[in-house]
Chains A and B, each alone.
Chain A
Amino acid sequence: EPEVTQTPSHQVTQMGQEVILRCVPISNHLYFYWYRQILGQKVEFLVSFYNNEISEKSEIFDDQFSVERPDGSNFTLKIRSTKLEDSAMYFCASTSSTITNEQFFGPGTRLTVL
Chain B
Amino acid sequence: RKEVEQDPGPFNVPEGATVAFNCTYSNSASQSFFWYRQDCRKEPKLLMSVYSSGNEDGRFTAQLNRASQYISLLIRDSKLSDSATYLCVVSPYSGNTPLVFGKGTRLSVIA
Contacts and interface: CB of A to CB of B under 8 A. Distances in A.
- Interface of chain A: mostly helix, strand, loop or mixed: strand
Interface residues of A, number: 28
A102 B46 contact: yes
B34 to A, nearest CB: 7
B101 A42 contact: yes
Contacts of A106: 43
Q: Looking at chain B's contact residues, is the secondary structure mostly helix, strand, loop, or mixed?
A: loop
Given A42-B102, A101-B91, A48 B96 contact: yes
Interface stretch (A12-20, A50-58, A64-72, A78-86): A50-58
B98 A56 contact: yes
A107 B97 contact: no
Contact of A41 (B41, B100, B103): B103
A108 interface: yes
B42 A108 contact: yes
Interface string A77-114: 00000000000010101000011111111111010000
Given A91-B43, A107-B43, A101 B103 contact: no
A85 B67 CA distance: 39
Given A45-B99, A98-B96, A105 B49 contact: no
A42 B97 CA distance: 18
B42 A98 contact: no
25 contacts: A33-B98, A35-B99, A42-B87, A43-B99, A43-B101, A45-B100, A48-B96, A48-B97, A50-B96, A55-B96, A56-B97, A91-B43, A98-B94, A98-B95, A98-B96, A101-B32, A101-B95, A101-B97, A101-B99, A102-B46, A103-B99, A105-B43, A107-B42, A108-B42, A108-B43
Q: 5 closest pairs, A vs B, by CB? A: A45-B98, A105-B43, A43-B101, A42-B103, A101-B91
